[in-house]
């Protein structure tokens, strides 16, 4: 594997150099030199709290993060076979010193091949004692279970799921997870409002890496594509979310767009997946923000990025284009708040619709998948809006008994079918099909 500025690869497991330490020490003693004997490894320490969570999938990279309970260091071993023969080892952190953390460890796997299945496992080394840089005592390594994933690409399985507005409602999140694991898509889009408000790192670790549900492997084999919801911008610590949920890699976009950390545009088989961020549900000038919001320029920057992303050959040639964002971009209720009124919260985001809607029409985007309203709804295309919209359900709000949904998308047999699963009853709430779009110059005729 080629080594580049974002590849932090090593040939053996963590601290493998310790295996040759006795020979080196003996040679040093023979020369009459002073030697250092590392302290013994501490037995019985357990730091790993849950199975790893796959994040930021791409055709050539994958993020891996896992929760720990106490100071630890770690690596990920991965290979193209379940035996992990000839595995590559990637360390936490980068060049120089590797990363320690007492809550979450992260590793980015890069240089991967598109449409390819890989197997991986985490290896975690507890830091039993840390006094200073030269006084550290390690615990014995915790070798994780072997999991697998498939990278994105034009020949990857065109099968995805969407969950939204989970809001740390764990009694509802558990069944959502069970449904997604049963469906077994290639990726899951977590379409916003994963949290309520995040004041510290422990809160974020629980929400994303160690949710209190039975299936601790909820994203160990099915990677997450995460789009922010309005609640995912609230709280003092949320500004550091990258420490738990990785940002997209900078080289996925031009330097002009490096701040667009959550936007994505990739092929998943015949489906082009477009991730957008509608931001908060109140205008920047709203007094509740006290001048601390800056979402209007953020949306404009995404518009510039979106126009270029939709024109890319790999996106433009896709038979189907699906855009994902948290706040809806349309509402048929004339009384619904379009996001620019002095009200408590927006039902839909007119600013984004005005900027992104014409690009959707120009480039043949067929459907927008949103959330935010906690109520499943389908908005068919219209003369002035040639794209459809599916709004996912969520937990009850304002005294209404609504229901969470899992939206499943499959492209097969000449159509893209989106099935909306009612997680409360186990029934299908709706099903919507789309024919292949005209691509390239054919759209103009």
What CATH number does the domain containing 78 carry? 2.60.40.10
- Does one domain contain both 192 and 284? yes
Instruction: Give the Cα separation of 63 and 81 in Å (integer).
Output: 19
Specify whether the CB–CB gap between 42 and 127 falls below 8 A: no
Q: Which helix (H) or strand (E) holds 77?
A: strand 72-79
318/194 same-domain check: yes
Residues of the chain short of pLDDT 70, as ranges, are: 1-35, 398-399, 401, 440-445
Distance CA 55, CA 222 (A): 9
- The token pair at 267 is 């092929």
171 with 208, same domain? Answer: yes
Q: Strands, DSSP E only, in 330-422?
A: 367-370, 377-379, 388-391, 405-412, 415-422
Same domain, 138 and 175: no
Whether the CA torsion 95, 54, 366, 386 is positive or negative: it is negative
Same domain, 405 and 287: yes
Count of helix runs (H) and strand runs (E) in the chain? 6, 22
Are 122 and 200 in a shared domain? no
Instruction: List all residues 6 or more positions away from 231 whose beta carbon is below 8 Å from its beta carbon.
Output: 167, 192, 193, 194, 195, 196, 197
Same domain (yes/no): 216, 276: yes
**Which of 98, 129, 149 finishes a domain?**
149
d(CA 338, CA 336): 6
Is 323 within a domain? yes
DSSP string of 384-409?
Answer: TB-SEEEE---S-BTTB----EEEEE
pLDDT at position 13: 37
Asked if residue 435 and residue 363 are part of one domain, the reply reads yes
> Residue for token digits 């953020």?
298
Phi, psi of 332 (to 5 degrees): -75, -10
CA distance to 249, 252, 254, 323, 415, per residue, from 259 (Å): 11, 12, 10, 20, 35
Contact 225, 194 (CB under 8 A): no
Q: Residue 68: give the domain boundaries.
A: 9-26+38-149
Quote the CA–CA distance of 177 and 210 in Å, as a whole number. 13
Q: What is the pLDDT of residue 30?
A: 65
């Amino acid at each position: 594997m080629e080594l580049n500025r974002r590849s932090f690869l090593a040939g053996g497991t963590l601290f493998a150099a310790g295996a040759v330490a006795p020979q080196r020490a003996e040679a040093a003693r023979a020369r009459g030199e002073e030697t250092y004997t590392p302290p013994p490894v501490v037995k019985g320490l357990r730091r790993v709290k849950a199975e790893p969570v796959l994040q930021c999938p791409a055709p050539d990279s994958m993020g891996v993060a896992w929760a720990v309970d106490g100071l630890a260091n770690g690596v990920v071993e991965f290979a193209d076979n379940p035996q992990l023969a000839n595995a590559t080892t990637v360390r936490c952190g980068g060049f120089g010193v590797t990363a320690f953390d007492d809550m979450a460890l992260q590793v980015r796997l890069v240089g991967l091949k598109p449409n390819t299945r890989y197997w991986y496992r985490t290896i975690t080394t507890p830091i039993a004692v840390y006094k200073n840089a030269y006084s550290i005592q390690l615990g014995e390594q915790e070798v994780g279970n072997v999991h697998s994933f498939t990278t994105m690409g034009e020949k990857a399985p065109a099968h995805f799921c969407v969950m939204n507005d989970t809001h740390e409602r764990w009694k509802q999140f558990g069944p959502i997870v069970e449904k997604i694991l049963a469906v077994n898509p290639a990726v899951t889009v977590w379409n916003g409002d994963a949290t309520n408000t995040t004041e510290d790192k422990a809160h974020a670790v629980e929400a994303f890496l160690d949710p209190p549900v039975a299936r601790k492997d909820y994203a160990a084999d099915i990677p997450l594509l995460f789009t922010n919801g309005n609640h995912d911008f609230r709280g003092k610590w949320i500004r550091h979310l990258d420490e738990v949920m990785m940002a997209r890699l900078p080289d996925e976009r031009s330097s002009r767009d490096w701040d667009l950390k959550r936007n994505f545009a990739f092929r998943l088989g015949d489906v082009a997946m477009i991730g957008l961020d509608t931001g908060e549900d109140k205008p920047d000038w709203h007094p509740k923000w006290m001048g601390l919001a800056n979402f209007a320029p953020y949306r404009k920057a995404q518009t510039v990025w979106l126009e270029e992303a939709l024109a890319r050959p790999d996106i433009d040639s896709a038979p189907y284009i699906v855009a994902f964002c948290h706040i809806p971009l349309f509402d048929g209720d004339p009384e619904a708040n379009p996001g620019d009124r002095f009200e408590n919260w927006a039902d839909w985001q007119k600013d984004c619709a005005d900027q992104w809607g014409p690009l959707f029409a120009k480039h043949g985007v067929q459907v927008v998948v949103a959330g935010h309203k906690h109520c499943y709804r389908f908005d068919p295309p219209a003369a002035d809006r040639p794209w459809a919209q599916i709004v996912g359900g969520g937990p009850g709000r304002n005294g209404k008994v609504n229901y969470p949904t899992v939206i499943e998308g499959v492209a097969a047999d000449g159509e893209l079918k989106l099935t909306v699963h009612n997680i409360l009853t186990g029934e299908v709430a709706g099903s919507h099909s789309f024919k292949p779009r005209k691509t390239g110059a054919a759209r103009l005729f």
